Structure 1
């Protein structure tokens, strides 16, 4: 099912890895993932999130703060009952594992460009095929997936469309303009306006928005560690000043912040 990232021909299982007919071989790491990101496709030595960012996100998500977000995504995936699905930009696998649990009979794949993230993701759902790979060169054949998920992740729309089978769709989950508003107000003198539907302009011909909904709720971050993890897993962890970040982390009272997510499902409407 996988394709070679160098010559695009099918990959077959080999001893402790995969190989294509041209002899390009890729080993399976001891954690269970395949690294299908050749060095010539990297833009840095270790692209993607580093170990500190991945661990902060893992700790924050494991505390359950975004559990309703993952639960709703899993419900929406289960409603569509795909035979094969892919999580594009899976990070450390929190949302991927929820999808896998909701689709026990489907064949699941997940990829991220960050090796540190995928190393940790493997432990969440061993039944998923975990890949270190580029989102712009996804090592799967054309029209091979009925369901794609993209959660808080950049997206190559052309590549996503290529992967979808006729009648398949992409579920994009991203923040609305209200997401983490209280945090942004504490960190910046002027909160930058965020247009949460700008991605609609990027949808390629042949795909259309078939479903959209918003999930909004409040979370209470009681301890400094949870506030530090939230800052570390967002761009605010390096955009805001050190003084503003410290004030949020070290405040004596619990910090209440809004979580607001938009779920957009794009259906493939033409036959390739």
Structure 2
């Protein structure tokens, strides 16, 4: 299932590490994850979310504010009953853990380019195989997964197509154009609209869109720490000016949560 990120040959277990036939070796960290991101594939010293962003996301999600999103995503995955699945861009593992709980008899793999995020994710579910790896170079064999989860995460469509079995599917979760609308109105003079279906124009040959649905609800955050965490875990935490961020943190916030789910199936090898 797992392949070497350097030479793409199969990885096999050797005590507390994985090794390929060319003796490229990758140790399992004490937290439980495996680092399959060679230094030559990094675009910075510590790519991905930093510890502060990871902790903010963990705090906010553990508070249950986005629980309906995770529960619906896990239910959609459960409908397809994949035996092997991959969560691309798993972050600190909140959504991954929901998927794993919904699919207790499956084998789940989850990866993120941020080592700090994966360290935290290991605490969420012991049965999942946690990896530090690049989404542009998935360390999984071709035609090895029945399902891929992509949650608020960029992805490489060609790589997704490669690792899915024919008939397998990618479930994508992303924001609708009115997601966090009221929050954005407080932060910016101009709130720009965007096309929340434009990702469907990027589908490669051999993948087709089969299902869409949306989930909307009103979220009220009475706690200042929750409002601070929400800002810190989104681009708004550094895009908006400090004065407006402090104003949001200082008073109760009610905003729209609007999420789109898309099933995209692989139709051919």
TM-score, structure 1 normalization: 0.98
Shift of 1:192: 1.2
**What corresponds to 2:7 in structure 1?**
7
**What corresponds to 2:229 in structure 1?**
229
**What corresponds to 2:52 in structure 1?**
52
User: Once superposed, what is the RMSD of the aligned Cα atoms?
Assistant: 0.6
**What corresponds to 1:262 in structure 2?**
260
5+ residue gaps, structure 1, are none
Helix, strand or coil: the match of 1:225?
helix
5+ residue gaps, structure 2, are none
1:38 aligns with 2:72: no
**What corresponds to 2:156 in structure 1?**
156
- CA deviations on 1:20-68 (whole Å, 9 max, x unpaired) are 1100000000000000000000000000000000000000000000000
Shift of 1:216: 0.3
Shift of 1:205: 1.0
1:116-155 aligned within 5 A: 116-155=116-155
**What corresponds to 1:208 in structure 2?**
208
- Which segments of structure 1 move beyond 6 Å, counting only runs of 4 or more? none
- Counterpart Cα distance in 1 of 2:210 and 2:195: 20
**What corresponds to 2:218 in structure 1?**
218
Helix, strand or coil: the match of 1:37?
coil
**What corresponds to 1:103 in structure 2?**
103
- Counterpart Cα distance in 2 of 1:211 and 1:198: 15
- Counterpart Cα distance in 2 of 1:32 and 1:164: 25
- CA deviations on 1:86-105 (whole Å, 9 max, x unpaired) are 00000000000000001111
Query: Number of residues paired by the alignment?
Result: 269
TM-score, structure 2 normalization: 0.99
1:178 aligns with 2:153: no
- CA deviations on 1:213-267 (whole Å, 9 max, x unpaired) are 000001110011110000000000000000000000012xx21111110000001
Shift of 1:195: 1.4
- Counterpart Cα distance in 1 of 2:246 and 2:200: 36
